[in-house]
Amino acid sequence: MADSTVTRMNLTEAVFREVGLSRYESSQLVESVLEHISDALIKDETVKISSFGTFCTRLKNPRIGRNPKTGMEAEITKRRVVTFRPSQLMKERVRIGNK
């Protein structure tokens, strides 16, 4: 398993190197894309990126959870969460990358 994390800065640097925009423009582009994705999810819209995957929200029902330290039961309230389903192409790329 990889110990590294891809950050906004990494994405900005990749856009800077591969697209040829200035660092500022690259940063603005990355921020704009992430903001559009976030805004769509906030509005309960599905975000589908071809050959990558689908981001969507779903409601999780309330349930009883347990504090792992104390063992005490507590109610976990109903909430909206973001889910991601990778595309078949992404699944295949990851699978091949693991060889």
- Taking only the tens place, the pLDDT of each residue in 24-42 is 999 999 999 999 999 999 9
Q: Is residue 47 classed as helix, strand or coil in its secondary structure?
A: strand
**Terminal Cα-to-Cα distance of the chain (whole angstroms):** 12
Rounded CA separation 89/91 (Å) = 5
CA 27, CA 24: separation in Å to the nearest integer? 5
pLDDT, mean of residues 11-30: 95
pLDDT at 3 over 80: no
Question: 14: phi > 0 → left, psi -120 to 50 → alpha, else beta; which?
Answer: alpha
pLDDT computed for residue 97 by the predictor: 85
38-96 per-position pLDDT tens digit: 999 999 999 999 999 999 999 999 999 999 999 999 999 999 999 999 999 999 999 99
Q: Name the pTM for this structure.
A: 0.80
Distant-in-sequence, close-in-space partners of 79: CB < 8 Å, separation ≥ 6? 59, 60
Choose among 14, 51, 55: nearest CA to 34.
55
